[in-house]
Amino acid sequence: MSGSRACSKYEITRRAIVGSMIRELAMVQPDSHIAATLNRLGYHSGYDKTWNETRVKSLRNYNHIPAFARGPERPWVTMEEAAGILKTSVTVVRTMIRKHLLPARHIVKHAPWTIRREDLQGPEVLHYVKAARPGKTAPRTENNSPLIPNL
């Protein structure tokens, strides 16, 4: 059996999980960061080696996964990028995610949250950000309760 090896069901499943994670992470991270995330999670490449930029790139190319590209045309952003776009803090973005005002995905621990760029323009999101700006008081209703609960 030169050059090939049999794969167990576990190995095939593990490869599928790693491939899915790389596909998701490539939307918001360069290959070097993807490698670091996979290593923190304890995943190894096919020959039980740790991940590096070259191994991630090779797997991406083999599976026709597009590389991460910086720029405003990307449909997905990280939590930090979302905070920059909205001109607010990461804490405000995290709170909106927790309160389900801003849809976001977090595929695994140690991976960044991914947020669709278009969701940043939702009326609830923009209203929350405006109300959460430092020095501003939360908008109130006629009975003096906050317009945005738990702010």
| Tokens of residue 34, six digits | 């993807």
Is 80 exceeded by the pLDDT of residue 119?
Answer: yes
Is 90 exceeded by the pLDDT of residue 114?
Answer: yes
Helical (H) or strand (E) element with 61: helix 53-62
110/72 Cα distance (integer angstroms) = 24
Mean pLDDT over 28-36 rounds to 94
Buried b (16+ CB within 10 A) or exposed e, 59-85: bbeeeebeebeeeeeeebbbbebbbee
Is there a contact between 75 and 66 (Cβ–Cβ < 8 Å)?
A: no
Rounded to the nearest integer, the mean pLDDT of the chain is 85
Q: Which tens digit of pLDDT belongs to each residue from 131-140?
A: 887 655 555 5
- Name all contacts of 45-54 with Cβ < 8 Å and 24+ positions apart: 46/15
127/138 Cα distance (integer angstroms) = 10
So what's the pLDDT on residue 1?
38
Q: Which tens digit of pLDDT belongs to each residue from 34-70?
A: 999 999 999 998 788 999 999 999 999 999 999 998 8
Q: Which tens digit of pLDDT belongs to each residue from 75-110?
A: 999 999 999 999 999 999 999 999 999 999 998 888
